[in-house]
Chain A
Amino acid sequence: MVDYRAEFQALAEAYRLSGGNVQNLENPHTGILLVSGGRLLGKNEIPGLVIQGEEITDGVRARILVQKEVRLQNPVHLCFGVISETGVQRIVADFVMEQGSSARFLAHCSFPNAVQVRHLMEGTVHVGRNATFTYEETHYHGERGGVEVIPKMKIIVAEDGIYMSQFKLIQGSAGVVDIDYEAEVNDRGLAEMEAKIYGKSSDQIRIKESLSLNGRDSRGLAKTRVVVKDRAKAEVLGEIIGKGPSSRGHVDCMEIIQGNEAQASAVPRLLVLNDTAKLTHEAAIGSVDKKQMQTLMARGLSEQEAVDVIVKGLLK
């Protein structure tokens, strides 16, 4: 028989170690979804927020809906984790932001003991007219690097809607990360995606952020910040398609590589299908910026201290 209380406590502890405030998970005025391994440990709905969840073979399927014109004041906490050394966690999540709604989701993903764990996220996000969806996903991994993180999201942003996401994996060993986010943005909509990952040891990181700016005056930003060292490898594809009249998009990729065995690549891809659309990109890959280093060293920091300050800032 499953001891749900013990499992909750283990997940809460992992959440705490990842920087979360455990009181958030017990606050009756906060929307919450708790998933440990393949088990739905708990959920808390609040007025205007509907959370439907069911256990599936190797995970949980959830439908999370914010009702029309509801603007949630407190962030909704999504706590996903695998406490054991091995296992698969599949999260199939459909987010629906109805017209005029607004919510901020904080997803905490903890795999502190992973030796062989797969975390699969298959999500869809529908941001309704004039709705705002903010999604911040922070990972906490152990040092053994035995995690595969494979999030795939398909996002549709309706007229005047706003989608903003940040994926952050800077604590512990990243393991294998394969991010694939795709967004379609309609008239006057905005989509901003950001990923920050610190790759070490033999981590393998692949990030694909793709934005299709379909609507008039639609806006998009695909931003990545990656640091790799040891034998870690990173591959970043930032793609924007400018279809809508006067659409504007930007790909911003910065990767820092430390040592001669790490590898980093960046491929910005811009496709313009309307003569009033404008897309831009900037990509920088290389060692830590020399002038930044020298500036900090001229304040008395050692070379290693200067690198740490720069890397921490980039991934903050």
Chain B
Amino acid sequence: MKRVLILGLGNPLLGDEGIGVRVAEELKGLELPDGVVVVEGGTAGLGLIGLMEGYQRVIIVDAADMGHAPGRVVRFTPLEAQFKTAEAPLSLHQIGFGEVLALAEALEVAPAELVIIGIQPSRVERGAGLSPEVEEAIPQIIGIILDELDVG
């Protein structure tokens, strides 16, 4: 039985930044295969390295600035993308997922299979609640995840 982690990242207080957490909440209401764990990773930063330990496959759900139209969903792997990371981050608050992944790889603790589902945000200012474009993308995101899990 494969151990799969679905990690919803983001900050629900910053508009569309919270999409990952919202998706994790939705997934918790669904019946998922054995061995699948859903976690709201929030803004855990370096703590994510510990969270990913012990899983063969990790699916990340997060708002991502990919230069697309708001609400656009892209499923990709780290090899297919280049994260814009800070080379010498000046504070822990700057350690985003790009840095965590780079660190995990350098430490050789990155998961064997990593998939990222990025959602282009419309709005990342203070204030809870998703924009309509991102809200409308939720069924599509869930569909992609269920495909990843080979669920009907």
Indicate whether A and B interact. Answer: no
Using a CB–CB cutoff of 8 Å, the interface residues on chain A facing chain B are none
